[in-house]
């Protein structure tokens, strides 16, 4: 165990504090008998009894101070272990999210993952201090205390501990109920997180359609359901704790009654009876907290299962044991009869028998109606998904047999909807190369035709970009994304409709600036604007995942097919 020394200290000091706490009833019993001796109930001299009483009082004070000291240590180390474990789990969870494939994120909502990485992780964190340490404390108090009391008086000892089996039974029942309620509550909190995430992400859509009341009602319904579950959980815990406390006081009443009769008979001293009652008083708080202990185990088992479902999940896309680093020479990308489907065996094919080849200095244009599979090609080339059939090679190397890090360092995509971080423009441009100097950043911005806009800002490249780039227009965000790619000079470059929000003149200028770097890259251009594809060496027209036409711009026009029809329609719009 990584934090073994802390765990040993926490458990060790818990044991010492528990044993010292068990010494308190014995000292109190002796003190009571000594005090009664001073009242004339003893044959010993008053001075010797007074001396014994003072010694007992001093010893009780020392024991109490030591118990407080060791309790402080076990509380501190118990909390420290929980926080250190949470720190490791937090990093492991975040690291796992970075490695999980797109197919996992397609099925799990972001809000749900945030809930698991925060609320569920907090339930696991608290388990050591509120569960494990408290369990050791209660075990020692009951186990050692039971031995001491039963050896002193079997009947009174049994009565003092009579409430323990009943408490254990009620705890087991409560644990099962609380575990079910915790699971339901955490799932409901995940739904609340998802609703809030969607609302904040699409806040402009909400405001544009005046849907604030609808969103509030939707959130309130989920919050009410979570509140109802929380209320059930509290009622279960409080009811269980109340019944257990009642059993405790019933047992104490029995001890007081039977012990009182023994004192009257003279077979038991008042000090001994005080020892039994003091021991039960010491047990009162742990017994009352037994509901919290049960709650801690229930919460940890539930939240831990949800957390480790993610940590133990095997990513569908990962490096093979024999994976090698991609050895790039010609930069030749080849799709060999590639077929792909997003779902199971019964799902329709998104791509069907796709074949093409493009190498360094060449460009391939891809066009087709929405849903034809254009963007899927980029996802497969970056190996965000694995092909269902066929294979993709780069310089003859199957991309499934090379490391993901080496593959994605050579294959870069400029997406249609670029994501910008809440950071400076400089940091966003240099995201792929944080060590880039100022000249490289400004050159990349000039290539993307965004330099003039940045230079006119008050803080220039230090200007802070709002969340997801909300302070920028669509075209400006796309140009920032282009600059981010330009600074890296990738070997294989994919434009996934990345100039859709840029006017035709700016797009022409960007293409002109990119001509030189594109000579040293293998380029794939996906666009719904055919003017972006005119200069491509080959253009393929996709429909329903099938290549229905292919050739150069002139060849496709001469075919007078779907491409030519689309080209005429777009030219007609431009002419208008």
Summarize pLDDT for 11-62 with one digit per residue, the tens.
888 888 888 888 888 878 777 776 766 555 555 566 776 777 777 778 888 8
Q: Are 156 and 271 in a shared domain?
A: yes
Do 353 and 295 reside in the same domain of the chain?
no
Q: Are 457 and 504 in contact (CB under 8 A)?
A: no
| Residue numbers of the chain with a pLDDT score lower than 70 | 1, 34, 36-46, 49, 106, 285, 287-292, 295, 344, 466-471, 498-519, 572-576
Distance set, CA 83 to CA 14, 78, 314, 330 (Å): 18, 9, 26, 51
Ramachandran assignment for 522, one of left (phi > 0), alpha (psi -120 to 50 degrees), beta (any other): beta
pLDDT value at residue 299: 74
Where in the sequence is the domain holding 185, given as residue range(s)?
Answer: 4-311
Residue 321 lies in a domain: no
Q: How far is CA 256 from CA 28, 148, 270, 283, 568, in A?
A: 16, 18, 11, 16, 101
Q: Does 324 reside within a domain?
A: no
229: in domain: yes
Let me know whether 440 and 517 are in one domain: yes
For residues 31 and 57, the answer to whether their CB atoms sit within 8 Å is yes
Rounded CA-CA distance 218/261 in Å is 65
- Looking at the fold, whether 354 and 207 belong to one and the same domain comes out as no
- Give domain status of residue 516, yes or no: yes
Q: Are residue 472 and residue 511 in the same domain, yes or no?
A: yes
368 and 305: one domain? no
First-to-final CA distance of the chain? 73
β-partners of residue 363 are 523
- Confirm whether 37 is domain-assigned: yes
Q: Are residues 259 and 367 in the same domain?
A: no
Here the contacts of 220-226 (C-beta below 8 Å, separation 24 or greater) are 222/188, 222/191, 222/192, 222/195, 223/192, 225/188, 226/185, 226/188, 226/189, 226/192
Residues 492 and 548 in one domain: yes
State residue 199's pLDDT score: 81
Q: Which domain CATH number covers 14?
A: 1.20.1560.10
Which of 311, 341, 368 corresponds to the end of one domain? 311
Distances in Å between the Cα of 171 and the Cα atoms of 177, 241, 487 are 10, 9, 62
If asked whether residues 459 and 373 sit together in one domain, one would say: yes
Q: Single out the residue in 281, 311, 341 at which a domain terminates.
A: 311
- CATH number, position 351: 3.40.50.300
Rounded to whole angstroms, the Cα distance separating 170 from 178 reads 12
Q: Are residues 364 and 250 in the same domain?
A: no
Q: What is the mean pLDDT of the chain?
A: 80
pTM strictly above 0.85: no
Query: What ranges in 100-162 are assigned the alpha helix state H?
Result: 102-107, 110-115, 121-127, 133-152, 154-160
Is residue 517 in a domain? yes
The enclosing H or E element of 265 equals helix 212-265
Same domain, 296 and 370: no
Beta bridge partners of 356: 335
The CB density around residue 47, as the number of other CB atoms within 10 Å, is 9
Q: Which of 276, 311, 346 is the last residue of a domain?
A: 311
Q: Is 165 a domain residue?
A: yes
Q: Provide the domain count of the chain.
A: 2
SS3 59: helix
What pLDDT was estimated at residue 393?
Answer: 92
On whether both 269 and 388 belong to a single domain, the answer is no
Residue 318 counted as domain residue: no
Cα–Cα distance between 479 and 475 in angstroms, integer?
6
Determine contact, residues 484/432, Cβ cutoff 8 Å.
Answer: yes
pLDDT of residue 355: 92
The pLDDT tens digits for 383-433 are: 888 888 899 999 889 989 999 888 888 888 877 777 778 788 888 888 878
């Amino acid at each position: 165990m990584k934090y073994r020394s802390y765990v040993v200290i926490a458990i060790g000091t818990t044991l010492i504090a528990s044993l010292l706490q068990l010494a308190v009833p014995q000292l109190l019993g002796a003190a009571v008998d000594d005090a009664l001796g001073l009242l004339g109930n003893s044959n010993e001299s008053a001075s010797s009894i007074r001396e014994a009483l003072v010694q007992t009082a001093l010893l009780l004070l020392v024991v109490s101070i030591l118990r407080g000291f060791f309790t402080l240590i076990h509380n501190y180390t118990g909390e420290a272990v929980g926080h250190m474990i949470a720190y490791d789990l937090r990093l492991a969870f975040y690291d796992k999210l970075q490695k999980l494939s797109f197919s996992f994120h397609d099925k799990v909502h972001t809000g749900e993952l945030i809930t698991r990485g925060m609320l569920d992780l907090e339930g696991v964190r608290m388990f050591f201090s509120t569960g494990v340490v408290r369990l050791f404390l209660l075990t020692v108090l009951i186990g050692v205390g039971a031995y001491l009391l039963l050896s002193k008086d079997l009947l009174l000892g049994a009565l003092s501990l009579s409430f323990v089996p009943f408490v254990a039974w009620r705890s087991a029942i409560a644990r099962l109920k609380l575990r079910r309620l915790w699971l339901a509550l955490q799932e409901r909190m995940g739904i609340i997180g998802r609703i809030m995430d969607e609302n904040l992400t699409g806040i402009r859509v909400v405001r544009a359609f005046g849907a604030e009341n609808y969103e509030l009602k939707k959130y309130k319904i989920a919050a009410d359901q979570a509140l109802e579950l929380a209320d059930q959980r509290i009622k279960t815990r409080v009811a269980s704790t109340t019944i257990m406390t009642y059993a405790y006081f019933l047992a104490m009443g029995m001890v007081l009654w039977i012990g009182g009769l023994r004192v009257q008979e003279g077979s038991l001293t008042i000090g001994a009876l005080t020892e039994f009652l003091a021991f039960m008083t010491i047990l009162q708080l742990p017994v009352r907290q037994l509901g919290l202990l049960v709650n801690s185990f229930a919460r940890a088992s539930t939240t831990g299962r949800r957390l480790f479902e993610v940590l133990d999940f095997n990513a569908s896309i990962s490096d093979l044991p024999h994976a090698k680093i991609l050895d790039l020479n010609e930069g030749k990308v080849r799709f060999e009869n590639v077929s792909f489907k997003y779902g199971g065996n019964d799902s329709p094919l998104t791509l069907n028998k796709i074949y093409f080849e493009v190498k360094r200095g060449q460009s391939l244009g891809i066009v087709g109606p929405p849903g034809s599979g254009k963007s899927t090609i980029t996802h497969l080339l970056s190996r965000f998904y694995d092909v269902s059939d066929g294979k993709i090679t780069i310089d003859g190397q199957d991309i499934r047999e090379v490391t993901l890090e080496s593959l994605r360092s050579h294959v870069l995509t400029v997406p249609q909807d670029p994501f910008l971080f809440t950071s400076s423009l400089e940091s966003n441009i240099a995201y792929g190369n944080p060590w880039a100097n100022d000249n490289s950043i400004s050159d990349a911005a000039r290539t993307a035709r965004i330099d003039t806009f940045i230079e006119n800002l008050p803080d220039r490249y230090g200007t802070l970009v709002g969340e997801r780039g909300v302070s920028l227009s669509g075209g400006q965000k796309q140009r920032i994304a282009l600059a981010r790619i330009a600074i890296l000079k990738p070997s294989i470059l994919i434009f996934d409709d990345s100039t859709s929000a840029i006017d035709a003149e700016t797009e022409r200028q960007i293409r002109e600036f990119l001509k030189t770097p594109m000579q040293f890259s293998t380029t794939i251009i996906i666009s719904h604007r055919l003017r972006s594809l005119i200069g491509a060496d080959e253009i393929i027209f996709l429909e329903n995942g099938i290549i229905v036409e292919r050739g150069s711009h002139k060849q496709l026009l001469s075919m007078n097919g779907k491409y030519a029809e689309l080209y005429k329609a777009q030219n007609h719009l431009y002419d208008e």
